[in-house]
Structure 1
């Protein structure tokens, strides 16, 4: 039965208060001499009459600084000493040599198993027994924690809340549940405790992973909606398009990262990069959609501006067609096109487009302006016969000063008629030639 009743030493810890300049080694030497004298004076069985104190006791001496003079150092030393009591069976603890001890939580089960082994084998292997007790109790505690996680009202409420939107502190709540396992199994065998902890972590993480993915989905959706809202607000305030995209994207991605960090579980190594990549794609897709829509709106707006600034003036010039009509139309076209191109260039500068795209859009705007004039010219060409009649009537009924003729019966009708025909034919021929030339 040597393994069952192997001797263990008791630790005698002497704490010297208010340490002075006297070296601790000197004080310890004097203290050990006094302790040895006491030991020598203690009555002992004959077989242990000459047994030294060190066979039964581990004597340790430590010192604490003065609380009055060095309060911070005193508290630090006390905290370190306290840990030796709290973690007494850990390496460095007051009972660190007792590798075969069983925590109080497993004592009842341990005692039953010890007695069963003694009856069956007449012997006992304490290290193996310790592992067996640790395996049973750690697994029981792990199962208890997992059941608590799946049935706990707070967790069920949290899981339900996750379905509706982001929940703060998600990661911290689960981490705290796993930490309680470590606290309850701290004094059991290190290897068994860690193995069962890993199993518990794996099962718990599998259990909460769907809720975690739901949270990431909520963060992704919220970030995208915030991006849309902020972008619209900035554009409505007159902010530059490219700058608005950049600022809104950075802000929303930062919020997404903070949300992910808030629900992160330190025991898990889950990667949210794929969800983040999807968010980036969605943001870029929306930005491109708004980009194209805004450019299209600008183009339509300036095309409308050109239409208004060209149609009526060109029509008026055609109504009073003459030798200088097309020169006036070309001058009007050049002026209005330059104004529109200049304003349009300034409007799209905030989009930070490449030069080839800018050049194409400006050329499209110029082509539109030219097409407006060409379309109007073609419309006027279709009214040639009407204009011939109008021109003939105007010249026939007005004198050279454009005053209405006063018919006295002495006028040369033949000459007047010939001049009116010549004028109408000349203007029409000039107009047809000009339309054909200018629209080619």
Structure 2
């Protein structure tokens, strides 16, 4: 059986009544081909009920230009419309329902429920329903369809309350000028009010006025053969129902947002008919919500599909490199998706629309979050690589430039934070503060490791510099050893250390080393510096003997004006005086050098002032002795080394003294004439030979020669020399003066 005629459709037919379900596929096809789907939600539905064969279809065709089948008046009276037919006003957004007439003789006894179901279906769909009644039937309760309205009210009170106010228009046909309009209107309204008062109602509706749920109008139409008047009256009624510019337009205050879109109407009507045909309680808002849920869910998926390529593109890009303005791109995708969704879903139930819109945004945000995690990793990797590259460059920079460079590197953290803020679509949504905190911690740890490595290298360089400075300080004093030897070294050392200490501290602060670590670094610096000083002094102690000997020579050999002494013009007593004076000074300095008189002074205790010497002032008598409480670490020359140095120094000093005496005597002997020496040798040679033959003289000479050979063999070269010097000195002081004294006396006599 044909259901879809293009301009009209058999919505409820015998099959739908028997199967208790609609042919949804054919209904979908009709909605598309008829153009009804194009009107969206801006429409009204008008249905008509009335007795069978009373011209309902004819009236609809006259009002809306529809083409419902009508009864051939040449045939016998019978049923033309079965169930419900649907069509559309040819010019306006009005959908028309032609409902099967009541009191059908074709219906068997007990089938009144079918009439009730079709009427309820029409009433559930309609915004306005027309009750077609003839003037001569106003007193017939059944003919006026009031019995059906009563059943509808009784079973579906919620239907009226939950959706909207229903418009009821009584169209009184075959009206004549003798009829009383006021009486007819009063009677029809009275019938409805009586029904309202008779039906049982929940407590909350017992006091409800009938007109809060119904808007009732009574319209009269003359006999259809009075064509001009009939046409004028139907046109006027049509204008009320279809022309939004008409002042009497009955849907003037209607909220079209409550309508179901015609694209979703097939599903919606199928659900309603299933409920009605199974005699279940009908809840129109719930049905609309179900439809809205279904369609909004589908539209949401379409919106997600619409931005699928954009999502994939963003995902692919963020896998290889961080995306600049990541949040803007996410927001663009979000806007496109919501625009797609809003275009098709905004006409559905507002709460469902908002709920699905939120689901759409939540799903997109969840996807964006997975991209955001990759974005974070890319950002971290990028800026950590930037840090590593900069640090590699800084390795070639002076460490004193690092504090300023570190401040410049802080810009990387700010840039990371800025990029991260441009990657978040809503502040606090993705715990970006935690990511910033973790990155800064990772950044600072990397920077700290670099600074520690640079400090370790710098510490070695600084250690070498300190050694060099200490060597200069000690060497300058070793070149001219004086009673102020230790005090001057200490003064110069702490002056140098004070400057280095301050610069080192400023450097450590600039390198952002923690205060506790700064203290550790500075303490280690002071300890290492003092250790270096001690090492330099220990090495320099090997030069003490040579330097003291040179200072002895400078004092003994040269006069106060710097000129060499003329030994020939000096007496031996004067030479001996110069000798003992210079020797005592040198030995005094040697005693001074035995113990290091420099104490370890922590700079942290005197950071505001330069270190002060702990050595006694030069105006006091300088005496250095090994005290019982002296630290063994302060000993520069231990007993063995001190004794060895002193002996070697004494040997060298005595050699100088003997050399001076010899020069003095050589000058005296040079005054004796040379012939005297030849004459003396001529007369004494036989005595010399005789002495050599004497064992008492020969053996001592041999013993002396053996002693000299033994000393040379064991390395004591200076011992025979010292022995001869002592003997020569004794003879010189005792025998020679007697000889020359006697000669002088003989010359005088």
TMscore range, shorter length: 0.5 to 0.7
| Alignment counterpart, residue 55 of structure 1, candidates 208, 213, 216 | 216
Q: 1:95 aligns with which of 230, 249, 254?
A: 254
Residue of structure 2 in register with 1:5 after alignment: 122
Structure 2 equivalent of residue 182 of structure 1: 342
CA shift at 1:278, angstroms? 0.9
| Cross-structure match for 2:499 | 339
Match for residue 106 of structure 1 among 259, 264, 267: 264
| Distance change in 2, residues 1:321/1:253 (3 Å) | closer
Secondary structure of residue in 2 paired with 1:4: helix
The separation in 2 between residues aligned to 1:220 and 1:105, in whole angstroms, is 50
- Among residues 553, 558, 574, which one is paired with 1:399 in the alignment? 558
Question: Within 5 Å, which residues of 2 pair with 1:164-313?
Answer: 164-167=320-323, 168=325, 169-179=328-338, 180-222=340-382, 241=403, 255-265=415-425, 269-289=429-449, 292=452, 306-313=466-473
Kindly state the Cα deviation for residue 282 of structure 1 after the two structures are TM-superposed.
1.7
In the alignment, the residues of structure 2 paired with residue 255 and residue 339 of structure 1 have an alpha-carbon distance, to the nearest angstrom, of 38
Distance 1:237 1:94 in 2: 82
Aligned to 1:430: 592
Higher mean displacement: 214-223 or 355-364 = 355-364
In structure 1, how many angstroms separate the alpha carbons of the residues matched to 2:263 and 2:284? 17
Match of 2:689 in 1: none
Change in 2 beyond 3 A, CA 1:395/1:93:
farther
Gaps of 5+ in 1: 11-42, 58-84, 86-91
Partner of 1:32 in structure 2? none
Whole-angstrom distance in 2 between the partners of 1:174 and 1:218: 21
**Who is 1:81 aligned against?**
none
Q: Which residue of 1 aligns with 2:304?
A: 146
The offset of 1:102, in angstroms, is 1.7
Q: Would the alpha carbon gap of residues 285 and 313 (structure 1) be closer, same or farther in structure 2, given more than 3 Å must change? A: same
- Structure 1 residue 410: deviation in Å? 8.6
Residues 243/94 of structure 1: CA separation in 2 closer, same or farther (3 Å cut): farther
User: Which of 411-420 and 367-376 deviates more?
Assistant: 411-420
Is the 8 Å Cα contact of residues 326 and 434 (structure 1) preserved in structure 2? yes
From 133, 149, 166, the counterpart of 2:291: 133
Task: Check whether the contact 1:317–1:325 (CA below 8 A) recurs between aligned residues.
Answer: yes
- When structure 1 is superposed on structure 2, of 107-116 and 334-343 the one drifting more is 107-116
Per-residue CA deviation, residues 175-198 of structure 1 (Å, 9 max, x unaligned), is 224412233212223444445445
Give the stretch that moved more between structures: 109-118 or 338-347. 109-118
Q: What TM-score results when the alignment is normalised by the length of structure 1? A: 0.62
1:80 maps to what in 2?
none
Relative to its length, the structure with more helix (as a share) is 1
Show CA shifts across 1:338-390 (max 9, x none).
43345445555656888777666555555444434322221122345555665
- Aligned equivalents of 2:252 and 2:461: distance in 1? 82
Secondary structure at 2:263 match in 1: helix
Q: Distance in 2 between matches of 1:178 and 1:218?
A: 26
CA separation in 2, counterparts of 1:331 and 1:265?
Answer: 66
Secondary structure of 1:95's counterpart equals coil
Look up the match of 1:36: none
Deviation digits for residues 263-315 of structure 1 (CA, Å, limit 9, x no counterpart):
33469943333322211312332454456567667766765554444322321
| CA distance in structure 2 between the partners assigned to 1:392 and 1:365 by the alignment | 39
Residue 408 and residue 261 in structure 1: after superposition, are their counterparts in 2 closer, same or farther (change >3 A)?
A: closer
Q: Which residue of 1 aligns with 2:312?
A: 156
Contact 1:139–1:196 (CA<8 Å) still a contact in 2?
yes
| Distance 1:181-1:327 versus aligned 2 partners, 3 A rule | same
Moved more, 295-304 or 236-245: 236-245
Cα distance change, pair 186–254 in 1 and its aligned pair in 2 (3 A): farther
Deviations 1:135-177 (A, max 9, x none): 332232233333344xx33332221111123322232133224
Q: Is the 8 A contact 2:300 2:357 kept in 1?
A: yes
Contact 1:175 1:266 in 2 (8 A): no
**Which is higher, the Rg of structure 1 or of structure 2?**
2
Contact 1:333 1:369 survives alignment (8 Å): no
Say whether the 8 Å CA contact 2:403–2:511 is kept in structure 1.
Answer: yes
Residue of structure 2 equivalent to 1:326: 486
Give the structure-2-normalised TM-score.
0.39
Mapped to 1, the partners of 2:549 and 2:414 lie a distance apart of 75
Aligned to 1:15: none
The 3-state SS of whatever aligns with 1:188 is: coil
